[in-house]
Amino acid sequence: MAGSAERVLQREIMLRLGAGPWPVIAAPIPNGIYIPAHNDEERRLVGRIVRRMKDDGMLLPGAGDMIVASAAAACFLELKRPAERDLFGRRSVRGQLSDGQREFRRRCDVAGVPYAVAHDWREALEALRRHGVIS
């Protein structure tokens, strides 16, 4: 998840689920990482850290942004930017899945693991209900 709109949605989902009547755990998946590097030496160090995280399986390209689990079920949630209108009335495009995200969704389908894409709280709530994570 890269955009600020997606981070806001992630926080909203976690807050609403935490304050709601559902006994669930919503955990963000730290698949994106930002480590500032100001010179070549720091860039090499950051490269080593990221390679090590990939080798150790800590970074999985395409994995969902969140996993929401209850005693009944669990679901990967991929959060995407909603379509919006700007001040001039132009409509932005909704966020789309990358190739890595489509591959991860395919792997979930093959394994029978619930996976959903949400552009807002309503879509996330519907997906969690559809997959039996919440009632």
Q: What CATH number did the domain enclosing 88 receive?
A: 3.40.1350.10
Q: What is the mean pLDDT of residues 16-40?
A: 79
H-only helix segments in the chain:
4-19, 40-55, 99-111, 121-130
Residue 101 included in any domain: yes
Is the pLDDT confidence value at 3 over 90?
no
My answer on whether 117 and 103 are in the same domain is: yes
Q: How far apart are CA 37 and CA 134, in angstroms?
A: 42
- Residue 110's pLDDT band, with cuts at 50, 70 and 90, is very high
Residue 93 included in any domain: yes
My answer on whether 111 and 78 are in the same domain is: yes
Is the pLDDT confidence value at 129 over 70?
yes
Rank 2-6, 21-25, 93-97, 111-115 by mean pLDDT and report only the highest. 111-115
Q: How far apart are CA 131 and CA 120, in angstroms?
A: 17
Residue 135 included in any domain: no
My answer on whether 112 and 46 are in the same domain is: no
Is the pLDDT confidence value at 90 over 80?
no
- Residue 135's pLDDT band, with cuts at 50, 70 and 90, is confident
The per-residue pLDDT for range 62-80, each reduced to its tens digit, is 888 888 999 999 999 999 9
The pTM of this model reads: 0.73
Is the pLDDT confidence value at 1 over 50?
no
Domain of 68 in residue numbering reads as 4-29+64-130
My answer on whether 16 and 74 are in the same domain is: yes
My answer on whether 56 and 93 are in the same domain is: no
Contact (Cβ atoms closer than 8 angstroms) between residue 84 and residue 93: no
The tokens of 54 are what? 């990939």
My answer on whether 50 and 107 are in the same domain is: no
My answer on whether 94 and 70 are in the same domain is: yes
What is the number of domains present in the chain? 2
